[in-house]
Structure 1
Amino acid sequence: MADDSRYTADRDRAGTGFGSYAAVGDSFTEGVGDPGPDGSLVGWADRLAVLLADQRPGGGFRYANLAVRGKLLDQIVADQLPRAKALSPDLVSFAAGGNDILRPGSDPDAVAERYERAVADLTSHVGTVLISTGFDTRHVPVLRHLRGKIATYTAHVRSIADRYDCPVLDLWSLRTVQDARAWDGDRLHLSPEGHTRVALRAGQVLGLDIPDDPDQPWPVLPPRGSLAVRRDDILWAREYLAPWIGRRLRGTSSGDHLAAKRPDLLPL
């Protein structure tokens, strides 16, 4: 059983437990990169919901996931926050703004201002709002050059959390997701194991008893030759990078015409 003194102060926040949880966000929260046995997406938020339900042996836990891939902050605020507030859950996770930061010319300070307005609105309607920072992208191809913008936005998110007394899912400090095995083949979304480690960290932040340590080191792998690495980079650029860039040039999103996978608070 994992236990970390950095998170024991938040055990009081869990208190009698959360009876309901709604997840708000984009592809990260929808669970892209983590397909279930039937092909439907799972993801860290679904896995966190299981951890939350396990804390209520009497049952009655309900969960909704409103996240849709590709959505920008303003779209999430307009489309998902009204529904989240109407559901009146005990807990909302709010991870948004990442797609905005990836856009050329975006200003992390301006995005953070809009993000804070959304957090202020949410916290006035929901008991607990779990907010998420960005990942440290220094080892992520394509995204490493955006590390400064992501760091700036992450600093804003942490400050906003302090102002509104929100627990923080700090992905920047979660070093185990900096391993390539934590990422899907597209190198933009987490793998099933990456989603699992994020869910464990989220549970840790909320003061839950979690079954494993999200910081547990990965098994050591033998070194790979430069030719194999180069071949993988070429295949990745062809299969994932080019379509991703194309969507941005066309102004389209992978989430266009998609609806939330779990729009109502339902029992697990």
Structure 2
Amino acid sequence: MAKFPRRRAKQPGGKSLFSRFARRHQGEGARPRSRGIYLLPNAFTTGALFCGFFAIVMAMNQRFEHAAWAIFVAMLLDGLDGRVARLTNTQSEFGAQYDSLSDMVSFGAAPALVIYEFALRGLGKLGWIAAFVYCAGAALRLARFNTNIEVVDKRYFQGLPSPAAAALVAGFVLLLVDLEVDGVIYPWQAWTIAIFAGLTMVTNVPFYSFKDINFRKSVPFIAVFLIALFFALISIDPPKVLFPLFVLYGLSGYVVYFVRLAKGKPVSIVQTAHEPVDQSERR
């Protein structure tokens, strides 16, 4: 006897089993993908956070040289996490927010406590007010950076970046420690540096960001030689080289601003054309 193919049984609601799989294949009815946390870039961020915490502990134990170097290591790790995220395509909103919180500890709270314990304690209220101005400036700087990332010209930072401000404070501490000078002898110099760094972070003065440098582009041989010379100069005596270097960078924004202003061409940090936002820049 001839056998006829049987009709497929329908699922409840009048829909066949095949149509359910077809919808799942097309993405209909599929469960939303969970937001994962990428390990590699966030490991660098965690390392920077640890260095900031370590700097605070060392400052409380009066070991200021270790505290200053921990801040510089945090700078290095903070500069790597975003680039690692970009290279490995592991950018995420979680990483951006985690990086901001890490920066607040490493470049906000830690330098403020280090400079207070090192030189500002003897000034009483004026000392902790200067440390708080720096800490508050770092917090405001980070909050403004996260909210203005889509409208600020990527060639410039709006105000002194918090890692550079932290390097200015840590470089001052490291220089005096290297000279075997007690910080309490220069409290007003430390007070000036803390106030300057804190206020400069919240100004609109443009600081060159070096983000428009194309590292994949070929360069003349002399450029490689200058880079090698730069690292050689730092290795000769890091405390005496790093602090003047960051002082010059901290003043460079004001120089650019007033030069452009004198020429009638103020530097605008607002983008004139729409550019896509790179989430790794928020790291």
Q: Same fold (TM over 0.5)?
A: no
Instruction: Select the structure that is richer in helix.
Output: 2
TM-score for the superposition, normalised by structure 1: 0.23
Q: Which has the higher strand share?
A: 1
- The higher-RCO structure (CA 8 Å, 6+ apart) is 1
- TM-score norm. by structure 2 comes to 0.22
